[in-house]
Amino acid sequence: MPRKHVHIVLAGDRWAVVADGGHGRETFRTLEDAIAEGARKAQQRQAELLIHGRDGQVRQRSNFSEA
């Protein structure tokens, strides 16, 4: 089974939460707010949370999937 991911990415001057296979994205003014919502979604989906920096590179990973 493929791994599921929830990404936090820069979207203009805001931060977006984007889930694999999702339709659309939610944006937040602060990175902290985006991370909180991303963690909630990752837990709900039992997915890995990937936080990308301003340069697009993954800066942090948190695994909420069952082993």
Query: What per-residue confidence (pLDDT) applies to 66?
Result: 72
Instruction: Tell whether the model's pLDDT for residue 2 goes beyond 90.
Output: no
Strands 26-28 and 14-19: antiparallel
Instruction: Tell whether the model's pLDDT for residue 24 goes beyond 90.
Output: no
- Residue extents of the structural domains in the chain: 6-30+37-57
Q: Give the separation between CA 64 and CA 67, rounded to whole angstroms.
A: 9
Query: What per-residue confidence (pLDDT) applies to 3?
Result: 80
What would the DSSP string read from start to end of 30-58? SHHHHHHHHHHHHHHHT-EEEEE-TTS-E
